[in-house]
Amino acid sequence: MSSSYGEFVSLEVTDGIGVIRIDRPKMNPLNAQIQEALRDAAIDAGADDSIAAVVVYGGEKVFAAGADIKEMQQLGYTDMVSRSTRLQECFAAIARIPKPTVAAIAGYALGGGCELAMTCDFRVAASDAKLGQPEILLGIIPGAGGTQRLSRLVGPAKAKDIIFSGRFVDADEALQIGLVDRLAEPGQVLETALALVRPYVGGPSFALRAAKEAIDRGLEVDLQTGLAIESMLFSSLFATKDRSTGMTSFVEQGPGKAVFEGR
């Protein structure tokens, strides 16, 4: 199954995995049209019960080399006050997909492209990929979550180094500091990303959803509040059929043999 969201974004579903594809040659600049299309694709992918996991992909040449600077150049302060909020909302839609997500990064993931990749649960990068937040070189700062998500991934000092300098981060360093989670050979980034999330197809979807929500929401609050969120979500899973199936299978057959229904 394949759906199009305007000219440059599509969602293709194969064997339980949805691939949100950006295709705007040559460098996949993320203009307002693409931002809105990504939001719509993310909402649909989250709501589609046939999709167990999602890959965000820009092709084997480039993930996304940033925002559309020509479009942004014409905007003033009052224009950007409303647009910047909407930009964050569009990217947050990817982060809120209640399923495992992975960014498949080839070529460049810069500026908005890096920010988009960081909305995913995991990042797979080609071994020759480059990531970075070069907004400082334009006289601005990241505005689609870069200052917040990067610091949470790699720590505040390393985030400041990357953002203050605007330098490119090669794939090896990105892996070392935790900006990416796995490297792939050039040309193999999509297959590597698919392999990373394929084990979640047929998994207990409500438990996976709860685990993601507990971790993501817990990172935003103090420990005691995070534990309360975990307790609430943990208890709620006892209303699911998958919980009953999983525990019965464990008692009768041992671990790892349950067949879940996503109910």
Same domain, 192 and 210: no
User: Which residue did the predictor score with more confidence, 82 or 129?
Assistant: 129
Q: Report the range of poorest mean pLDDT among 24-33, 52-61, 160-169.
A: 24-33
Do 212 and 130 fall within a single domain?
Answer: no
Same domain assignment for residues 153 and 32: yes
The answer to whether residue 260 sits within a structural domain is no
Greater pLDDT, 72 or 58: 58
Number of domains in the chain: 2
Burial (CB count <10 Å: 0-12, 13-18, 19+), residue 47: exposed
pLDDT confidence of residue 14: 97
Q: What is the CATH number of the domain that holds 240?
A: 1.10.12.10
The verdict on 112 and 226 lying in the same domain is no
pLDDT for the residue numbered 232: 98
**229 domain residue, yes or no:** yes
DSSP string, 119-160: TSSEEEEETT-EEE-GGGGGT----SSHHHHHHHHH-HHHHH
Q: Which residues are catalytic?
A: 115, 135
DSSP state, residue 104: E
229 and 164 assigned to the same domain: no
Q: Is the dihedral of CA 227, 233, 236, 240 positive or negative?
A: negative
Q: Would 262 be classed as within a structural domain?
A: no
My answer on whether 142 and 242 are in the same domain is no
Q: Is residue 263 part of a domain?
A: no
Tokens linked to 225: 């509040």
What is the CATH number for 20?
Answer: 3.90.226.10
Taking only the tens place, the pLDDT of each residue in 133-155 is 999 999 999 999 999 999 999 99
239 and 191 both lie in a single domain: no
C-alpha span between 107 and 65 (Å, rounded) = 9
At 233 the pLDDT is: 98
Task: Examine the domain organization and report whether 164 and 137 are in the same domain.
Answer: yes
Regarding whether 139 and 60 lie in a shared domain, the answer is yes
The answer on 211 and 196 residing in a single domain is no
- 120 residue type, one letter: C
In this prediction, residue 70 has a pLDDT band, given cuts at 50, 70 and 90, of: confident
pLDDT-above-70 percentage for the chain: 100
**pLDDT tens-digit profile of 93-119?**
999 999 999 999 999 999 999 999 999
Cα-Cα-Cα-Cα dihedral of 163, 164, 167, 169, to 10°?
-40
Is position 258 within any domain? no
Single out the residue in 184, 200, 216 at which a domain terminates: 200
Asked whether 17 and 53 are in contact (CB, 8 A), the reply is yes
Q: What confidence score (pLDDT) does residue 247 get? A: 95
Residue-level pLDDT at 85: 85
Task: Give the C-alpha separation, 10 to 19, whole Å.
Answer: 8
Read off the pTM: 0.94
Task: Say whether pLDDT at 202 is over 80.
Answer: yes
- Quick one: 194 and 214 in the same domain? no
- CB of 133 within 8 A of CB of 87? no
3-state DSSP call for residue 106?
coil
Distance CA 214, CA 229 (A): 6
- Domain limits for position 221: 205-253
The answer on 192 and 218 residing in a single domain is: no
Mean pLDDT of the chain: 95
